[in-house]
Structure 1
Amino acid sequence: MALERRGDGPSACLPGVGRFLAVLAAGCVGGRIGEMGTGVGVGAAWMASAMPVDCRLVTVELDPVRVAAARRVFADDERVEVVHGDSFDELQRRAPFDLVFVDGGRSDRAVELLRIGGRLVFDDVTPVEALPADSPYRTNDPKRDFFFTDPRLVATEVVLPDLRNSLLVGTRVR
């Protein structure tokens, strides 16, 4: 069921991303998880499947058709709230979070949604070594620039086992 993001085609959480999110969600005891960009709920399902019973997940999507699909997926899970609207605005109302997964929406302010010690995850990143030699992203990638220059984050890039996809992961330290 997990699909890759390719242009305007379907998108959903890759299995390697899902497993990584599940590991992080499992540690959110009594915590709160936010997701920017629900899609049809695949990433949220990975997190919900591993998060403790006392954890809550809020996932936000702009597309009403995708919201309806995700709400059906989580109809029987009271821990998960699927919200229709602007991801940042809706999550800001419910912040702070222990974990925020950014898969859509205004990501430039996502650190503001985290408590100190909270983790931020961006996906849809191509490892530098997998980029074409002439790609401008080898030296100027807005996602990497944000992650590695924001003084509030201690961050790293995690390359997935397929060696074609990676995640940016950061912990808010201030």
Structure 2
Amino acid sequence: MGELPALVVRAQMAAAEVGMPLTRDGTGPSCCLPGVGRFLAVLAAGCVGGMIGEMGTGVGVGAAWMASAMPADCRLVTVEMDPVRVTAARRVLADESRVEVVQGDSFDELARRAPFDLLFVDGGPSDQVVDLVRIGGRLVFDDVTPVAALPADSPFRTNDPKRDFFLADPRLVATEVVLPDLRNSLMVGTRVQ
């Protein structure tokens, strides 16, 4: 699938240093998966003159993917609560003048800087996040498991808060994008109202 951008490699090394897993195992926070990162890079590349936001920086892997692809006239702000992760992300992104790493409450900090052309949310659904995206902007949630990959008895087969939120909100035209590993997917929406 091609070589990883140098900034992403640096972020993955920071993840190893702080003990943040590079794979999603369901036991706690993990880094942005390569399939998610590549998808975010595609969206970031189209944000000409735009503003990108990220809720949940971790150590900066997702931000590194987006920063590596976004146009020169684009800016990215990423917010994380954990001080250890913030320190690691600031170190990873130190040479990226177009990227701001903020420690604090993601919604509050991003609300001060909205609206966004692209908003990547690594957390639970909230109808308030749609308000942070401009009309025509994109909203992306990760950490979704495709229905076909769920155990037969999983309650998420019929009631997944992220899927339900995206597919029912009239302000979004949305879909689920299953990643090539077939075990992970994203919810992606464009704000239309």
TM-score category (smaller protein):
over 0.9
Paired with 1:145 and 1:91, the residues of 2 have a C-alpha distance of 24
Match of 1:138 in 2: 157
Report the CA distance shift for 1:137/1:114 in structure 2 as closer, same or farther (over 3 A): same
SS in 2 for 1:118: strand
Q: What is the Cα deviation at residue 10 of structure 1? A: 5.1
Matched, 1:22 2:20: no
Q: What is the Cα deviation at residue 108 of structure 1? A: 3.8
Match of 1:45 in 2: 64
Match of 1:7 in 2: 26
Report the CA distance shift for 1:70/1:81 in structure 2 as closer, same or farther (over 3 A): same
Matched, 1:90 2:114: no
Matched, 1:153 2:153: no
Aligned residues: 174
Match of 2:52 in 1: 33
- The normalised TM-score by structure 1 is 0.96
Q: Which structure 1 residue ranges, 5 or more long, are not aligned?
A: none
Match of 2:5 in 1: none
Matched, 1:169 2:156: no
Amino acid in structure 2 at the alignment position of 1:116: I
Asked if structure 2 preserves the Cα contact closer than 8 Å seen for 1:37 and 1:105, the reply is no
Deviations 1:85-120 (A, max 9, x none): 000110000000000000136644211110000000
Q: Which structure 2 residue ranges, 5 or more long, are not aligned?
A: 1-11, 13-20
